[in-house]
Structure 1
Amino acid sequence: MQDLSFRSTYAHTGDGRRALGSLIRDIFGIEISSLDRLGHDPSVLAFGWWSGEHLVANVSVYERQLWLCGRRVKAFGVQSVATRPDWRNRGLFRDLFGRALAYADQRADLIILSTGTPDLYRRFGFRQIEEVRFGSETPAGTLSEGCRELSLERDDDLSLIIQAFAHREPTSLLASACDHPALFMLKAKLTSEIKLFHLKKLNAVVAVKQNESSLTILDIVAACIPSVAQIVGALGFTGLRTEVHLTPERLSWQPEEKEAVDNGYMVRGPFAPEGQAFMLSDMTI
């Protein structure tokens, strides 16, 4: 590592964000520059090895606000774990990951990440957890249609979403996330199938996927959590099937089906709802 320099103060500088965005784009094919407009999470701390002004390896952590088994829990998430191919097998990942864990361990008991390569993280004390998707026939709507599709390109819609996040209640007390909106909005920006709606009568923002026959509720951002039937009615949805990718105990709805899924989540530390049927949210990258 003699030809490299370590830095950890670049996550909130223009040059640092551009270098990190370039690394993520080159390694994962994900474009994150839209966060310059949508809003960056101020809790992010990036650890990186640099060759001159070129970022060659990175591990970032960010604060997470979770509700787990009735308790509000501060945790840390891990993201943007990447090393350029020419710099692999030099111990950069292990070094940066160790620094990130040391920082998070001093501030929280729980660390969460999502990965497609779980074997890479077991040696650091992470274990896999299973989430559940919930489904049923579509309930009868209890509200007349009253919604407006939101666009992240419109300043007033962006302000509405940010305001909703500022006052949001947890969708579940068993297992849910009340994180900064950055990843929610980035997921919506990058996934054309996801639609964001403002439910006027409920003053709620919902993220959904839908077609003529099925509706999938991905997240609900509101000061008062509406029921599934209220959401269905406000959207004017009349298809046969509804899925919920959230823990549903506050949604006044009884799922008929539960499907276990591996979303790549791994945890390090105590995770109270482990082994129960839950889902935090699909609105993350």
Structure 2
Amino acid sequence: MNPLEFRSDYAHSSEGLAELTRLIYDVFEVDVSVLDRLGHDPSVVAFGWWSDNELVANVSLYKRSLWLLGEQVTAFGVQSVAVRPEWRGKGLFRDLMGRALNYADARVDLIILATDTPSLYKPFGFRQLKETTFSARLTQRQALPNYRVLSLDEDKDVALLRDIFSRRAPASLVASACDHSALFMLKAARTSEMELLYLLDLDAVVAVVGRDGPSITLLDIVAESIPSLDEIVSALGYTGEEVNVHLTPDRLSWVPDKQIPVDNGYMVRGSFAPEARAFMLSNMRV
């Protein structure tokens, strides 16, 4: 094998993005090339080992803007952690995590990630968060739909999303994120059952699943002014039996019937103020 070179200068070059996209696809079979059109997060900082022109191991950070118990907190998220199989067992993952965490620790007090393999990150001081989903039965109502289905294949709809993201208010003051739109759009692009709906009178975009079924799930809200859940359900013209909310509902003027603890994959390193409360961060990320 060729000798390795450490680099952290490639996150926003065409060469670097192409190699990072290839690495993520080869390791996880996840195609993130759609972000070339939808827009990459400009805050990403990548740490990688290269063999000639091939990226063989990567850990990336991206800036997170969180609202936690009424305070706006800047954090870093960890993403795109990948090592090619033939380069595993050589300490590259541990080395890159150390470099990334040293960078983040010098700048913020909180680091957050989402993973299906928490045992990999506990040695670095990360601990798992327990989140909560919220739900309630719905009373019968008259259907008065007033929305437009958005398509990420339409430039005008992508422009609309970018505009609303640029003036987005926190969906919750207890626990929510006002991050760049990249991961939100990537999640929507990769989830065929999800719909992005623009509520015209409310100037709000909602991500939902199950709009035509007996139970609808609200995944996220992007708006300058957060509407109530009743306003959202009315604008959707939804006449089903139940609504499930996968975000912290303190700004929705709504009291859920049920709260169900879930492991949504989040881990944190540092102080996370809502940890002892019922909350959910949006899982609009890949």
TM-score normalized by the length of structure 2: 0.97
2:242 maps to what in 1?
A: 241
Name 1:41's counterpart in structure 2: 41
Q: What's the secondary structure of 1:145's corresponding residue?
A: coil
Report the more deviating stretch, 203-212 or 179-188.
Answer: 203-212
Helix, strand or coil for the counterpart of 1:75? strand
Given the alignment of the two structures, is residue 212 of structure 1 paired with residue 201 of structure 2, yes or no? no
Q: Give 1:18 deviation, angstroms.
A: 0.7
* Contact kept in structure 1, 2:145 and 2:236, CA below 8 Å: yes
Residues 1:228 and 2:257 are matched in the alignment: no
Runs of 4+ in 1 over 6 A off after TM superposition: none
Distance 1:101 1:2 in 2: 27
The answer as to whether partners of 2:145 and 2:237 remain within 8 angstroms in 1 is yes
Corresponding residue number in structure 2 for 1:199: 199
| AA of the residue aligned to 2:149 | E
Q: CA deviation at 1:29?
A: 0.9
Change (3 A) 1:139 1:80: farther
Partner of 2:28: 28
Secondary structure in structure 1 of the residue aligned to 2:274: coil
Equivalents in 2 of 1:68, 1:138: separation in Å? Answer: 29
Across the aligned residues of Structure 1 and Structure 2, the Cα RMSD in angstroms comes to 1.3
Gaps of 5+ in 1: none
Q: Is the 8 A contact 2:216 2:243 kept in 1?
A: yes
Counterpart in the other structure of 1:128: 128
The letter for the 1-side match of 2:208 is V
Q: Give CA-to-partner distance per residue, 1:57-98, whole Å, 9 cap, x none.
A: 000000000000010000000000000010000010010000
Match of 2:274 in 1: 273
Give the SS at the match of 2:124: coil
SS at match of 1:123: helix
CA distance in structure 1 between the aligned counterparts of 2:146 and 2:187, rounded to whole angstroms = 24
C-alpha change, 1:187 and 1:30, in structure 2 (3 Å) is same
State the Cα distance separating 1:276 from its structure 2 match: 0.6
| Contact in 2 for aligned 1:141/1:230 (Cα 8 Å) | no
Q: Which residue of 2 aligns with 1:89?
A: 89
For the Cα contact (< 8 Å) 1:143–1:230, is it kept in 2? Answer: no
- Which runs of structure 2 are paired with 1:175-194 in the superposition (5 Å)? 175-194=175-194
* Cα distance, 1:230–1:78 mapped onto 2, change above 3 Å: same
Q: Which residue of 2 aligns with 1:119?
A: 119
Q: What displacement does 1:142 show? A: 8.7
* In 1: Cα distance, 2:280 partner to 2:162 partner: 23
Which residue identity lines up with residue 225 of structure 1 in the other structure? I
Give % identity. Answer: 59
State how far apart, in whole Å, the 1-side matches of 2:97 and 2:135 are. 37
Instruction: Tell me the secondary structure at the aligned position of residue 16 of structure 2.
Output: helix
| 8 Å CA contact 2:2, 2:52 repeated in 1 | no
- Counterparts in 2 of 1:13-162, with a 5 A limit? 13-139=13-139, 144-162=144-162
Q: Secondary structure at the match of 1:108?
A: coil
**Alignment-derived partner of residue 166 in structure 1:** 166
- Provide the rounded CA distance (Å) in 2 between the counterparts of 1:18 and 1:70: 39
How much has 1:40 moved relative to structure 2? Answer: 0.4
Per-residue CA deviations over 1:91-150 (Å, capped at 9, x if unaligned) read: 100100000001111110000011111111111111111010000112566983100000
Cα pair 2:76 2:108 within 8 Å, conserved = yes
Gapped regions of structure 2 (runs ≥ 5): none
Between the aligned partners of 1:140 and 1:230, the Cα distance in structure 2 is 14
Residues 201 and 140 of structure 1: is their aligned pair in 2 closer, same or farther, counting only changes over 3 Å? farther
In 2, the alpha carbon distance for the partners of 1:30 and 1:142 equals 41
Kindly indicate whether the alpha-carbon contact (under 8 Å) linking 2:19 and 2:55 is maintained by their aligned counterparts in 1.
yes
Letter in 1 for 2:71: R
Residue identity opposite 1:79 in structure 2: Q
Query: Match of 2:252?
Result: 251
State the TM-score, normalizing by the size of structure 1. Answer: 0.98
Return the alpha-carbon distance in structure 1 between the equivalents of residues 280 and 142 of structure 2.
25
